[in-house]
Amino acid sequence: MNSFGRVLRISIYGESHGLGVGIILDGVPQGIQLDIEDFKEDISRRKPGKLGTTKRIEEDIPEFLSGIYHGFTTGAPINIFFKNKNNDSKVYTDFKNHPRPGHADFTSTFKYERYNDIRGSGHFSGRMTLGLVAGGVVAKKITNFLLKKISDNSLEDIEYKTEIIKIGKLVYSNNSLEIDKEIKRVQSLGDSLGGVIQCEIFNVPIGLGEPFFDSVESLISHGIFSIPGVKGIEFGSGFLGCENLGSEFNDCFINREGRTLTNNNGGINGGISNGNKIIFSVAIKPTSSIFKNQETYNFKSGKIETLKIQGRHDVAFVLRVPIVIEAMTALVLTDLLMKIVK
């Protein structure tokens, strides 16, 4: 199942070292202006090139295979394709027999009976998230298009702020120099780092989501855990907040817009957005591909053997994930918005 969403329905396809990767968006309203320029900013946020990220740099220019006409969406499915260019598959040879710890080599080889394309992790690659980022761009445009249509400017655009709040054990905001040092140190060890990303969404209309299976938390978490490497999510004040008493945790209302004094619930009550900022944090594991030797079972030899991974890898792929989280969230919230606005 590579599809997600009810009204705005996305499907992703592709492989890391195949022809390319892409996304189809079905259900996009007609009349939204869309060109390649719109994608540049978000795609560049996902690109490597900074300290701690891989040297495989792709151009990542979106190609519209369908659904755009004269620069506007037509209402037909939009297929956005990204060709792979800078892939080097030579170094991925024996991972079916000697699977990399933390990766999907073992499970995908078992499940797909060794027919899986393991080059660059194939369909399991983080490169698949490029399609999600492109989808997020379209989602954001849809949201603002719909809000404009209904609001007579009474509603503001939904805005996203997504940033890393922790790398390894270091809190980001007040440690950026230390963090650079830590990344270099870990890189020199041939090791890797994880982190935590926080996503805040402003100006969310009241009423998105439903009780139970279409709760805002259910759908966001469903989407977020689809992103490779995510190990946890918490809304509002999260795990720590749940240590408090009810009288401390409850968010009392303070005005007729439904603003609350605190926001421990993260902008959601009973699965439905309450108009306050939606806020959640996501735990991202350290990059599984490390250059350090690992002692792990070789299924061909039947022995635990040293595995030495080569190639180009992010020291901390968490650095590239904020825009992916943001895009996935935009896809979910836009889908929910489209249920109540036409």
Write out the binding residues for its own copies, residues 57-116 only, by CB under 8 A. Answer: 64-67, 69, 72-79, 81, 99, 101-108, 110-113, 115-116
Binds its own copies by CB under 8 A, chosen from 42, 60, 117, 326: 117
Least distance CB 240 / its own copies (angstroms): 9
The nearer residue to its own copies, 202 or 232, going by C-beta atoms, is: 232
Tokens 């078992």 belong to 110
Instruction: Report 174-213 residues binding its own copies (CB under 8 A).
Output: 186, 189, 191-196, 206-207, 210-213
Interaction of residue 226 with its own copies, rule CB under 8 A: yes
The nearer residue to its own copies, 44 or 169, going by C-beta atoms, is: 169
Interaction of residue 136 with its own copies, rule CB under 8 A: no
Quote the tokens at residue 140: 């954001």
The nearer residue to its own copies, 26 or 178, going by C-beta atoms, is: 26
The nearer residue to its own copies, 41 or 150, going by C-beta atoms, is: 150
Instruction: Report 257-286 residues binding its own copies (CB under 8 A).
Output: 258, 260, 264-266, 269-274, 283-286
Least distance CB 68 / its own copies (angstroms): 8
Least distance CB 212 / its own copies (angstroms): 5
DSSP 100: P
Binds its own copies by CB under 8 A, chosen from 8, 18, 143, 320: 18
Binds its own copies by CB under 8 A, chosen from 45, 96, 297, 312: 297
Q: For residues 145 and 228, what is the distance between their CA atoms, to the nearest angstrom?
A: 30
Question: Reduced to 3 states, what is the DSSP secondary structure of residue 76?
Answer: coil
Q: Report the helix count and the strand count for the chain, using DSSP H and E.
A: 8, 16
Binds its own copies by CB under 8 A, chosen from 159, 254, 308, 310: 254
Quote the tokens at residue 181: 């040092």
The nearer residue to its own copies, 44 or 306, going by C-beta atoms, is: 306
Which residues is 307 bridged to in the sheet? 294
Least distance CB 80 / its own copies (angstroms): 10
What residues contact residue 132 under an 8 Å CB cut-off, 6+ apart? 10, 12, 23, 227, 324, 327, 328, 331
Instruction: Report 322-341 residues binding its own copies (CB under 8 A).
Output: 339-341
Say which amino acid occupies 109: T
Quote the tokens at residue 295: 């002692």
Q: How many residues can be counted in the chain?
A: 342
Interaction of residue 172 with its own copies, rule CB under 8 A: no
The nearer residue to its own copies, 158 or 260, going by C-beta atoms, is: 260
Q: How far is CA 36 from CA 11, 26, 46, 70, 292, in A?
A: 20, 19, 16, 13, 40
The nearer residue to its own copies, 44 or 276, going by C-beta atoms, is: 276
Tokens 């492989």 belong to 15
Q: How far is CA 64 from CA 25, 39, 78, 81, 130, in A?
A: 11, 12, 7, 6, 14
The nearer residue to its own copies, 152 or 295, going by C-beta atoms, is: 295
Least distance CB 107 / its own copies (angstroms): 4
Residues 169-190: b if buried by 16+ CB within 10 A, e if exposed: ebebeeeeeebeebbeebbeee
Instruction: Report 298-317 residues binding its own copies (CB under 8 A).
Output: 299, 302, 304
